[in-house]
């Protein structure tokens, strides 16, 4: 069998590879770049995060996440107060905001149930 003829490495090819390596290194410098490189914003991971949250909070199952957020998914997040940064990118600050917001709503509901006014609630 004849060996396939290899193309000679050109100056443009070397530059292209070097520039791709630079872009890859720059992407890893930022937290969102590292999350993206690790696949945190893939549809599979988004579905996994929403399934975990639905089980944890006792919510109805979320609609499936495709390559782009659908209108049903946006309505689901808005209805349940889910931070979109966390859902799409895996940003933990977004998860903290979601949980803090939910705790605030639960505290207000408990106060209303007990007959307290919302002005007497503390924020911490």
pLDDT digits (tens, 9 = 90+) for 58-89: 999 888 888 777 889 889 988 988 888 888 87
CA distance 108 to 34: 37
Residues with Cβ within 8 Å of residue 92, at least 6 apart in sequence? 86
Q: Give the least confident one: 57-71, 92-106, 108-122.
A: 108-122
Kind and range of the H or E element at 52?
helix 43-57
pTM comes to: 0.55
Backbone angles phi, psi at 22, to 5 degrees: -65, -45
| pLDDT at 118 exceeding the cut of 70 | no
């Amino acid at each position: 069998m004849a060996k396939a003829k290899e193309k000679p490495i050109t100056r443009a090819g070397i530059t292209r590879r070097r520039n791709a390596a630079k872009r890859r290194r720059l992407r890893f410098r930022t937290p969102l770049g590292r999350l993206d490189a690790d696949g945190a914003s893939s549809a599979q991971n988004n579905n996994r995060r929403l399934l975990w949250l639905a089980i944890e909070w006792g919510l109805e199952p979320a609609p499936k996440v495709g390559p782009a957020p659908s209108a049903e998914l946006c309505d689901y997040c808005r209805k349940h107060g889910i931070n979109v940064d966390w859902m799409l990118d895996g940003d933990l600050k977004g998860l903290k905001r979601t949980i803090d917001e939910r705790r605030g709503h639960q505290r207000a509901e408990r106060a209303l149930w007990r007959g307290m006014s919302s002005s007497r609630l503390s924020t911490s």
